[in-house]
Amino acid sequence: MALEAVLNNPDYNLVKANSGEQALARVLEIDFAVILLDVQMPGMDGFETASLIKQRERSKDIPIIFVTAISKEAHFVYRGYEAGAVDYLFKPFDPHILKSKVAVYVDLHRKNHQIKMQAEALRESERRERARQLAALELESLSRYRNLADAVPHIVWKCQVDGTLDYCNRVWTNYTGLGLDQSSGNGWKTAFHPEDLRQLEATWAMATVRGESFETECRIRRQDDKKFRWHLLRAVPEYYAANNVSSWVATATDIHDRKAMERDLIRAKDEAAAANRAKSNFLANMSHEIRTPLGAVLGFAELMANPDQTQAERLHCLATIKRNGELLSRLISDILDLSKVEAGHLQIERVQFPLPDTIVAVVGTLDQTAKEKGITLDLKTAGMLPAKIHSDPTRLRQILFNIIGNAIKFTQKGGVHVEVKYDRPSNKMQIDVTDEGTGIEAAQAEKIFKPFMQADSSTTRKFGGTGLGLSLSRKLARALGGDVELTRSEPGKGSTFSVTIDAGSVDGEVFVQGVQWPLDLKNQRPSAATQSRSLDGIHILLVEDSQDNQVLLTRFLTLAGAKVEVAENGEEGVKKALGGDHHVVLMDIQMPVLDGYQATQQLRQSAFEKPILALTAHALKEERERCLQVGCDDHLTKPVDRKALLDIVASYAQKTMLKAAAVTEDRISVH
């Protein structure tokens, strides 16, 4: 009561304890500024109580003042300080001293409390500042992340484990036309191809279970053209615990052009492999096709050397050799023409020529082949035909030789029927070729128009052929403004091929009824006497390195009355041309020492003005143009057609003689 009276203060909260045990219990509950502790108490005395208070972490710093009536002997006081006391007051105490000492410790407690509060406030302030800085850094990091995601040329997005979209970059928005609002949740799925979306979700689910990244290819619709384009999608998981996926970050890269290129490469590879196989088959067929007539040429030439041969048998051998030689020549021409068509270098001329005569000439040439097989070949017309059309007669003959020749080859009995008609509305000529041959299966109908291809391998084995004729004929016909089509075919009963070409301008042309067939070919052949001496008095220089060609060409020319001088190479040819008096020079191109190009250039540089005719096995248009550029007047190809050779030599020789006569006349006049 006395202590309460002395320490009565509205700012103090006095807590009483009647024993050491109660004091210890109170200390656990309340944070005291100071403890006033008696020494002599029942049970636990003050020294024991003080010692226990100081042993506890919570209460070890509370100041303890002993207030006791015990002896003032020094060892009691020392014991109190050893127990942890800060002061020692004896009863009866001085109230002023007690109040002063308590006030000091209360004030110290308050200041400590203030310091603690200030420290806590400072810590809270620092925590808030750190939180603010972290938030600013996170905001800056997020801004950098978004700027980086917008800068890369790929689609970037982030989504939750269930596929709910949290973020997408501008590339996604610009590509798909879907903003974040439209893409949020599962709205992004609308941009994916349904088939690929199912595959993506299955792959995604498996990767989520495994906690692994994944990649897959899928199609995403582009807003510009509403077309789906292929993308490579890569997704990486983010974890909130070991192997527990919390979210996904994914990118998508447009690979549509790359896939298209890969498909093109694969297709090109397959096409190249198919072309190689076709060309290998073609080479095998070509070997057969070349060796067959070549064998006939060599064999019948050997037969002619037999002295027991009769004149009729020799004539038969000659006819056979000539026919097979012409077959070889056509075969090589087809190959060259096809290569020019494929390269886009085929030249088409548009000239006026008599259509009925051209068709009759082709049919007349092939009629002998049909007769030898025991089948018929007939020609008829439907309606009126223009007497002349504007087109390329050489290419038309080539087409008809191939189509009608094929019909004869595949017909074993019966006949081949050729019908010609003119369609006025379309201004096209149509030639239908119908045979009674093997026919073609429907599945093979388009295949036969591909280069090096025939209906099947058994066709090649049974009938031969290179597989070039129909392909070349169709390309030539299309170049002439028409086409070649298989209009009817029935296995075992025959086929009908229709050839159409543009007739060109037929205004003012005379129309005729039908054609004359069969022809009286005897009346159309020039007499042997007419051809035999057509080069009388003509002097010719033949520059040729091949001994066989020297003999052959010399024989052709001398039989026609010409005088021939031979040079073995270009260098010798230049010397003889400049030193001789020849009307025409026949110049081979490929020769040793000095080739035909160089020899011709040297002659022209030496003011040699007489005709130089290139005579070469190079049949391409480029070779002809090169021959003319270096100074040749014309170009003849080997194997040489005897009549064409004699005609062209006679033509240029006549020009030379007329020019010489004119020069002589001028000299006489001047004299």
Beta bridge partners of 87: 65
Residue 306, number of CB atoms within 10 A of its CB: 10
Q: Which two tokens mark 401? A: 């030789």
Residue 470, number of CB atoms within 10 A of its CB: 23
pLDDT reported for residue 319: 82
State how far the Cα of 520 lies from the Cα of 531, in Å rounded to an integer. Answer: 20
Please give the torsion angle defined by the CA atoms of residues 267, 273, 274 and 278, in that order, rounded to the nearest 10 degrees: 150
State how far the Cα of 589 lies from the Cα of 45, in Å rounded to an integer. Answer: 140
pLDDT reported for residue 597: 93
Strand (E) positions, 140-241?
155-160, 165-168, 214-221, 228-241
pLDDT reported for residue 664: 58
The side-by-side arrangement of strands in the sheet containing 155-160 is 165-168, 155-160, 244-254, 228-241, 214-221
pLDDT reported for residue 526: 46
**Three-state secondary-structure class, residue 249:** strand
pLDDT reported for residue 299: 76
Cβ atoms of 169 and 155 within 8 Å: the answer is yes
Q: Which residues of 154-165 are buried (b: 16+ CB within 10 A; e: fewer)?
A: bbbbbbeeebeb
Q: Which two tokens mark 403? A: 């189509």
Q: Is 351 left (phi over 0), alpha (psi -120 to 50) or beta?
A: beta
Residue 274, number of CB atoms within 10 A of its CB: 11
Q: Which two tokens mark 664? A: 């002589």
Q: Which two tokens mark 334? A: 């087809």
State how far the Cα of 197 lies from the Cα of 111, in Å rounded to an integer. Answer: 70
pLDDT reported for residue 230: 93
Q: Which two tokens mark 181? A: 């609002």
CA angle 193, 267, 444 (to 5 degrees): 110
State how far the Cα of 190 lies from the Cα of 183, in Å rounded to an integer. Answer: 9
State how far the Cα of 227 lies from the Cα of 192, in Å rounded to an integer. Answer: 11
C-alpha distance from residue 286 to each of 274, 276, 535 (Å): 18, 15, 39
Query: What are the 10-residue block averages of pLDDT along the chain, 671 residues in total?
Result: 85 89 89 88 86 86 84 73 81 85 88 87 83 69 66 84 85 88 86 91 88 91 91 88 80 90 89 78 65 74 81 84 78 68 68 86 85 89 88 88 88 90 91 89 72 48 54 87 90 90 86 68 44 79 87 87 93 94 92 90 93 80 84 85 87 86 58 50
565-568 long-range contacts (CB < 8 A, ≥24 apart) are 565/539, 565/540, 565/541, 566/542, 567/541, 567/542, 567/543, 568/544
